[in-house]
Amino acid sequence: MKKLIILGLLFCVNYTALAQGTYKRVLKLMGSRFDITVIATNSIEANTYIDTAVSEISRIEKLISSWDKNSQTSEINRNAGIKPVTVDKELFDLIKRAIQISKLTEGAFDISYASMDRIWKFDGSMTEMPSEDRIKKSVEKVGYKNIILNEDNYSIYLKHKGMKIGFGAIGKGYAADKAKELLKKIGVEGGIINASGDMNTWGKQRSGKDWQIGIKNPLNKNKVFALLPIYESAVVTSGNYEKFVVLNKKRFSHIIDPRTGYPSSGIVSVSVFSVSAELADALATSIFVMGIDVGLDFINQLQNIECIIVDDTGKVFYSKNINIK
């Protein structure tokens, strides 16, 4: 679950003109809320721009959806342990980048998490911990090293039967990046693609000022603790403050470590700032799994990437180069 508060842009139920030359539409895509904001000379032009973004996001959903039996992703999963599947270069490259992030995070991020047995429930029905054996068994088919790529024919092979890949932790960020890329290409001078908290921006507001975001502490929602200008960059905020379970007096997140099968704990919100929403999306999930100390140390070693972490007591942690107003 991802939430982001964009200061100055009020959510609405349908198409709204927010200011002269600034237009926004709120709709449901990829099973989530999307807020698409563009700078345009009039509503007709804005509608054309936003329709273009919607078409691009829908195209990406058809490519990466594991729910659509006709998608290339579903074809890969159906043939796990059987044979490689040749896919479009776009999907091949996305999977290749995902594996690179898995290597970088030492498996804290892994698109083969979809192979995991669903033994944890976050709907209030769970009353006791699963056994250690059951938890260990739940991740037996997970492992990015068992995703075999063939650069010669753009084929993907999952080595073991029952393996699956999924893009739940990266797909909306990728869609935000691609929609931004296309709108810039056709001449839209500024805007925001906000895919349920996976947000990418370009250009400036009509006033000439940078877009700004305010980030709230999920345990104190009436107060904004960070106000940052965003220019030609992305920010992704991931939270577990609505999907968790308390067992043995310990709070467990719905974000599960794909290496161990245990839910993450100790963190309620992570915001990652990067040039790419796709990358920020993956890293936000990774930090939940890594924990505060390891996550901050990891981000501090990366170029042009920053993060803000809120722990389960409401304490806020910042990476070293964050500039908070």
pLDDT tens track for 187-226: 999 999 999 989 999 999 988 899 988 787 777 766 777 7
pLDDT tens-digit readout, 83-114: 999 999 999 999 999 999 999 999 999 999 99
Residue 8's pLDDT is: 34
Beta bridge partners of 235: 199, 273
pLDDT at 325: 56
Token couple for 135: 């938890």
Confidence at residue 9, expressed as pLDDT on a 0 to 100 scale: 35
| Closest of 272, 217, 271 to residue 241, by C-alpha | 217
- Cα–Cα nearest to 120, from 7, 255, 215: 255
Distance between CA atoms of residues 214 and 19, nearest Å: 19
**1.10.3980.10, 1.10.645.10, 3.40.1160.10, 3.30.1300.10: which CATH number matches 72-158?**
1.10.3980.10
* Number of residues written out for the chain: 325
Residue 3 DSSP class: -
32: alpha, beta or left, given left = phi > 0 and alpha = psi -120 to 50? beta
> With 90 as the cut, is the pLDDT of residue 293 above it?
yes
| Better pLDDT: 76 or 313 | 76
Radius of gyration, alpha carbons of the chain: 20
Mean pLDDT of 228-238: 89
Residue 287: pLDDT over 50: yes
Instruction: State yes or no: pLDDT of 1 exceeds 60.
Output: no
Q: What is the pLDDT of residue 324?
A: 65
CA distance 286 to 238: 10
- Residue predicted with more confidence, 246 or 79: 79
Average pLDDT over residues 78-84: 98
- What's the pLDDT score for residue 223? 72
- Region 233-256: mean pLDDT is 85
Six-digit token string for 26: 């709120």
CB 95 within 8 A of CB 163: no
C-alpha span between 253 and 264 (Å, rounded): 5
Per-domain residue ranges of the chain:
72-158
pLDDT band at 20 (very low <50, low <70, confident <90, very high): low
Burial class (CB in 10 A: 0-12, 13-18, 19+), 20: exposed
User: In 3-state terms, what secondary structure has residue 228?
Assistant: strand
